Structure 1
């Protein structure tokens, strides 16, 4: 069950492919429809960020398990420009693309665990987990 699958993000259509793969995996793991929607929304946001700001990258998915819970691990990674001001990007309402600004703070709220590593000029890696309730 712990195999890693991924979608390369290079064109806008890849965002849809990533959403579909994430929804399918979350359904297989046993998430309810509300959490499936949360996961799909988070994936959409992460994939769109790769497409808009890095040009290309990957969304990786893994079904994860501990002794008493199961969930999904989603990793978004790119070799793009990185994030110059991480604290600003993590503020609610902040948007560089003219979008709603739900962005990364939205992803953090939708998921149970959220971690971001970024280096200017080298890229960004965001790891996030959701656990079945």
Structure 2
């Protein structure tokens, strides 16, 4: 097991989180397409921290046991929180004027995603990708 976190405060931190995520996915044996999916998911989650919460962390965890290999990406912030998680999961919904593809896209790129958010307290989004 390997676990690290990157504090997201600048756009360069997003790049660093992507690089670490790609490296860990490669070490687990994910093909280049899945590596791209994982790094794209990290980008979206980290960019949301940067845009909406201003500061937070991306945690990258590599799980490797006899029976399973998976990568867990967790985005944690103490930002304003998400008022309506169901709305955020809909393609096209955006509070910033963007395309509204970020969170729904992460959900499609990864094998699982759980969002916990409290208005005024922050948001935690945990995603996983399993090596099959």
Same fold (TM over 0.5): yes
- Distance in 1 (CA, whole Å) between partners of 2:24 and 2:64 is 14
RMSD (Å), alpha carbons: 1.1
Length, aligned pairs only: 132
Deviation at 1:97, TM superposition (A): 2.3
- Distance in 1 (CA, whole Å) between partners of 2:65 and 2:45 is 25
**Is 1:95–1:103's contact at 8 Å kept on the other side of the alignment?**
no
1:27-81 CA-to-partner distances (Å, cap 9, x unmatched) read 0111000000000000000000000000000000111145522010010000001
Q: Match for residue 45 of structure 2?
A: 46
**Is 2:28–2:64's contact at 8 Å kept on the other side of the alignment?**
no
TM-score after normalising by structure 1: 0.95
- SS state at 1:80 partner: coil
**Is 1:82–1:124's contact at 8 Å kept on the other side of the alignment?**
yes
- Distance in 2 (CA, whole Å) between partners of 1:80 and 1:50 is 8
Deviation at 1:96, TM superposition (A): 2.0
- Distance in 1 (CA, whole Å) between partners of 2:84 and 2:65 is 34
**Is the aligned partner of 1:28 residue 2:27?**
yes
- Distance in 2 (CA, whole Å) between partners of 1:117 and 1:66 is 27
- SS state at 1:118 partner: strand
- Distance in 2 (CA, whole Å) between partners of 1:97 and 1:71 is 32
Query: What runs of 5+ residues in structure 1 fail to find an aligned partner?
Result: none
